């Protein structure tokens, strides 16, 4: 039988991202670094990085910076990466949505406040949410149908598979004439010694319809972007509830009446 990665939820990590209309300048990156104190208590580690970017088919590098709170083994608990044309915040110690998103939202607001002053004409064009869930099973009792239902997003062949496998599926949903959401869905089954591990990764990218100026986002107190992120969260829960069998779905809090996630 399967068990979630954590006692009452399966989320291994969640990543929030804002996609910008143009690259962040080195000057703005320097200003972000200079104001590290705004989130130093939560993410004390700091590192200047190069970010791989594609410019008209040509691979190049863009300046960036990463902040993190690290465990003793140097793996992150929280991280924030700013550079190229996006701001990413990732949490590896997810507890509940309201708490986790609330922390990320505060960091976004601080970063946007700095960028709005440091660089003109930066705007947000899309919002991205990636959620990675993990489930474990003893090899002797492994059967993927104890975890996943039959679905149009899963080939029947993988539900019959015994060994390791991977499947990927993507689709686009038109929310209205100006807004679309791109979904990317990946399931990976691996074996480690006598244990099977199933990782489900769901990535959603939704454009804002109209590009949002950073100053307007601050004036709006992040309400517009927050509403999009909340909608993506609900969409992730809905997808998982369609895929995961009833007992496990209840255990990890996917029911609409269940406030766990």
The pLDDT profile of the chain, 261 residues, written as one tens digit per residue, is 899 999 889 999 999 999 999 999 999 999 999 999 999 999 999 999 999 887 777 888 889 999 999 999 999 999 999 999 999 999 999 989 999 999 999 999 999 999 999 999 999 999 999 999 999 999 777 899 999 999 898 988 888 887 899 999 999 999 999 999 999 999 999 988 889 999 999 999 999 999 999 999 999 999 999 999 999 999 999 999 999 999 999 999 886 544 456
Look at residue 85 and tell me if it is in a domain.
Answer: yes
Residue 259: predicted pLDDT: 45
User: 12-32: string of b/e by CB count within 10 Å (b at 16+)?
Assistant: bbbbbbbbbeebbbeebbebb
**Quick one: pLDDT at residue 256?**
52
Q: Which domain holds residue 223?
A: 2-251
DSSP state of 222: T
Residue 258 lies in a domain: no
Query: Is residue 241 in a domain?
Result: yes
Query: Is residue 259 one of the residues assigned to a domain?
Result: no
Surface-to-core class of residue 212, CB atoms within 10 Å of its CB (0-12 exposed, 13-18 middle, 19+ buried): buried
Position 58 in a domain:
yes
What is residue 250's predicted lDDT score, i.e. its pLDDT?
Answer: 92
Q: Which residues are bridge partners to 187 per DSSP? A: 167, 200
Check residue 19 and give left, alpha or beta (phi > 0: left; psi -120 to 50: alpha).
beta
**Tokens read off for 155:** 């080939």
Number of residues that this document lists for the chain: 261
- CB-based contacts of 32: which residues, under 8 Å, 6+ apart? 65, 82, 111, 114, 115, 118
Burial of 85 (0-12, 13-18, 19+ CB in 10 A): middle
Contact 183, 208 (CB under 8 A): no
In a domain, residue 72? The reply is yes
Q: Pull the structure tokens for residue 194.
A: 């006598």
Using CA atoms, how far apart are residues 13 and 130, in angstroms rounded to an integer? 8
The first and second tokens of residue 236, run together, are: 């992730």
Q: How many separate domains does the chain show?
A: 1
Q: What is the pTM of this model?
A: 0.94
Residue 46 in any domain: the answer is: yes
| Dist. CA 24–CA 29, nearest whole Å | 7
Longest Cα pair distance anywhere in the chain, in angstroms?
59
């Amino acid at each position: 039988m399967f068990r979630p990665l954590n006692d009452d939820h399966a989320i291994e990590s969640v990543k929030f991202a804002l996609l910008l209309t143009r690259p962040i300048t080195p000057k703005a990156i320097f200003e972000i670094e200079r104001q590290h104190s705004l989130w130093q208590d939560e993410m004390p580690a700091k590192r200047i990085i190069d970010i791989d970017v594609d410019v008209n088919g040509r691979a190049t590098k863009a300046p960036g910076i990463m902040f993190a709170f690290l465990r003793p083994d140097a793996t992150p608990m929280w991280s924030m990466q700013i550079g190229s044309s996006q701001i990413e915040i990732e949490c590896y110690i997810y507890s509940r949505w309201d708490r986790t998103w609330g922390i990320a939202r505060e960091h976004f607001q601080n970063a946007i406040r700095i960028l709005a002053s440091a660089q003109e004409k930066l705007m947000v064009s899309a919002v991205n949410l990636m959620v990675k869930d993990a489930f474990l099973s003893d090899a002797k009792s492994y059967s993927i149908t104890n975890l996943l239902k039959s679905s149009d997003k899963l080939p029947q062949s993988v539900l019959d598979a015994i060994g390791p496998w991977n499947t990927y599926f993507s689709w686009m949903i038109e929310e209205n004439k100006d807004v679309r959401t791109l979904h990317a869905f990946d399931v990976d089954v691996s074996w480690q010694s006598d244990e099977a591990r199933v990782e489900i990764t769901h990535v959603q990218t939704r454009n804002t319809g109209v590009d949002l100026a950073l100053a307007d986002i601050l004036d709006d107190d992040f309400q517009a972007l927050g509403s999009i992120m909340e909608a993506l969260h609900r969409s992730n829960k809905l997808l998982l509830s369609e895929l995961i069998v009833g007992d496990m779905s209840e255990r990890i809090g996917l029911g609409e009446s269940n406030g766990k996630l």
